[in-house]
Amino acid sequence: MLAEGRFRVRLVTDTVGTSDAFVAVPYELHAQEGVGSVDPGAGAVSATADRDEGVRVALSDGTLGIGMAGYGFMGAAHSQGWRSAPAFFDLPAQVRMTAVAGRNQEAVSAAAAKWGWSRAETDWRALIDADDIDLIDVCTPGDSHVDIAIAALEAGKHVICEKPLANSVAEAERMADAARAAAERGVFAMVGFSYRRVPAVGLAKRLIEEGRLGRIRQVRAQYLQDWLADASAPMTWRLDKSLAGSGALGDIGAHAIDMTQYLTDSPITSVSGVLETFVTERPKLAERAGLSGRASDETGTVTVDDAALFTARFGDGALGQFEATRMATGRKNAFRFELSGERGAIAFDFEDMNVLWFYDATDPEETLGFQRILATEPSHPWVGAWWPTGHGLGYEHAFSHQIVDFVNDIAAGRPPRPSFDEGLQVQRVLAAIEESAANGSAWTTTEGIR
């Protein structure tokens, strides 16, 4: 009988004695499903296997080799995460920063040296082919996510892929299919919606799960930046639909969509949206700096939205109001949300990221009011591993936390979140907003959208 699943295999070998290993490949079982003997392979004199669903360690030598594709903004943030996560958290595996891949030898070699990667590659396929790499970290623009993530999963490597998952629903569906198939073999995939791992956000999720807000009726979310408010700011890949998929909508609106679906634990089922491109021609990029850079004399055409506004209905009946823009003059990275429930409310603004505002409608009347919680207590999510109370965390810590959670999930054989299916759901919402905007803001359902 050929059985597929995860098994604890006990090997008795004549050279090293008895050892336990977890395997997640089809094994020829010579007994009833669950317990039996397996082909012991070279070097072993006998072997038995127990079905042990939910537990798998892919790390036969106790290490996890990482290969990262892309070394820009996210490459830097993820490198910081890979470096600091094992230094501050007890991880079940030793992380090896094995290789980083880009396209330019000189630049990728410099990035490897700067951020602590052992080697540099000029083609992401070299990461997939490498035997010493167990996990692929996708930090490239959206147009390459589908190819890299699927190749990695099919090669049996875990994947963390930056958001939005893909540039289209069709791509995201293929990725989610590949992730589901890989999970059957104990190979896992996660989307990099990093804001879920900000401690104040973790606390918000905890309060909601404890029922402190009661039924959530209304959701307000804004993601406001201003780095494109200057009409002479140059073109980058983020302004090219073929590379980015969409503009403010997918770049930052995707975070707001994921966050609110995650916190409410309810999918957005229909939307009415409007998209606007205020500046349609921009100078081409001469030299990159931060999200933007130095302009050249040539101009190019912007093919994505500068701003997205939409109204949404959630599956559980809540109503949502959203705004995503890179033209909100004076707002730098104001990712804000407020959820109003029948028993309480929460509010968050990333520009004050260590703080969560909480309103408990059951408080005595004379002390009713939003309370400002400094989410830096050791009991708050992830905080205990860092600094003493009141010594705030920053943007980069969420990247450490998503790595900590992912590595723990891999070792425990637990499917990580956000899953590729959750990334696909966000992609459907993005596509529905685009379709709605193209049809005079008509209400558009997210189910079945392509």
Ligand X SMILES: NC(=O)c1ccc[n+]([C@@H]2O[C@H](COP(=O)([O-])OP(=O)(O)OC[C@H]3O[C@@H](n4cnc5c(N)ncnc54)[C@H](O)[C@@H]3O)[C@@H](O)[C@H]2O)c1
* Cβ at position 104, least distance to ligand X in Å: 7
Name which of 51 and 284 has its Cβ closer to ligand X. Answer: 284
Binding piece for ligand X, criterion CB under 6 A, among 137-145, 224-232, 258-266, 349-357: 137-145
Draw the binding track, 164-193, toward ligand X (x: CB under 6 A; -: no contact). Answer: ----------------------------x-
Count residues near ligand X (CB under 6 A). Answer: 22
Which positions from 104 through 133 interact with ligand X, judged by CB under 6 A?
Answer: 124
* Cβ at position 150, least distance to ligand X in Å: 14
| Residue pair 420/182 in contact by the 8 Å Cβ criterion | no
Binding piece for ligand X, criterion CB under 6 A, among 46-54, 135-143, 200-208, 426-434: 135-143
Name which of 268 and 285 has its Cβ closer to ligand X. Answer: 285
Does 142 engage in binding with ligand X (CB under 6 A)? yes
| Residue pair 159/133 in contact by the 8 Å Cβ criterion | no
| Residue pair 129/67 in contact by the 8 Å Cβ criterion | no
Does 102 engage in binding with ligand X (CB under 6 A)? yes
Residue type, 144: S
Buried b (16+ CB within 10 A) or exposed e, 121-158: beebebbbebeebbbbbbbbbbbbbbbbbbbbbebebb
Does 101 engage in binding with ligand X (CB under 6 A)? yes
Does 194 engage in binding with ligand X (CB under 6 A)? yes
Binding piece for ligand X, criterion CB under 6 A, among 136-144, 176-184, 263-271, 361-369: 136-144
Q: Give rounded-to-5 percent helix, strand, coil for the chain.
A: 30, 30, 35
Nearest to 333 by CA among 260, 394, 404, 407: 394
Binding piece for ligand X, criterion CB under 6 A, among 24-32, 99-107, 181-189, 327-335: 99-107
> Where on the phi/psi map is residue 109: left (φ > 0), alpha (ψ -120 to 50), or beta?
alpha
Q: Which residues pair with 347 in a beta bridge?
A: 338, 357
| Residue pair 249/275 in contact by the 8 Å Cβ criterion | yes
* Cβ at position 126, least distance to ligand X in Å: 10
Tokens at 55, concatenated: 């537990």
Binding piece for ligand X, criterion CB under 6 A, among 56-64, 68-76, 210-218, 342-350: 68-76
Near ligand X by CB under 6 A: residue from 69, 257, 347, 410 = 69
Draw the binding track, 321-360, toward ligand X (x: CB under 6 A; -: no contact). Answer: ----------------------------------------
Does 270 engage in binding with ligand X (CB under 6 A)? no
Rg (CA), the chain: 23
CA gap 70, 80 in Å, rounded: 14
Name which of 147 and 360 has its Cβ closer to ligand X. Answer: 147
Near ligand X by CB under 6 A: residue from 36, 67, 70, 253 = 70
Name which of 29 and 159 has its Cβ closer to ligand X. Answer: 159
Name which of 227 and 370 has its Cβ closer to ligand X. Answer: 227
Helix pair 73-88, 105-115: axis angle to 10 deg: 30
Does 140 engage in binding with ligand X (CB under 6 A)? yes
Q: What separation in angstroms does the CA of 193 have from each of 117, 214, 345, 424, 430?
A: 23, 25, 23, 12, 15
- Residue of minimal CB distance from ligand X? 72
Which positions from 354 through 383 interact with ligand X, judged by CB under 6 A?
Answer: none
Residue type, 25: V
Nearest to 417 by CA among 197, 170, 200, 264: 197
365: exposed, middle or buried (Cβ count in 10 Å: 0-12, 13-18, 19+): exposed
Strands 344-349 and 158-161 come out as: unpaired
Name which of 93 and 257 has its Cβ closer to ligand X. Answer: 257
Residues in the site for ligand X, rule: CB under 6 A?
69-75, 101-103, 124, 139-142, 144, 162-163, 192, 194, 237, 251
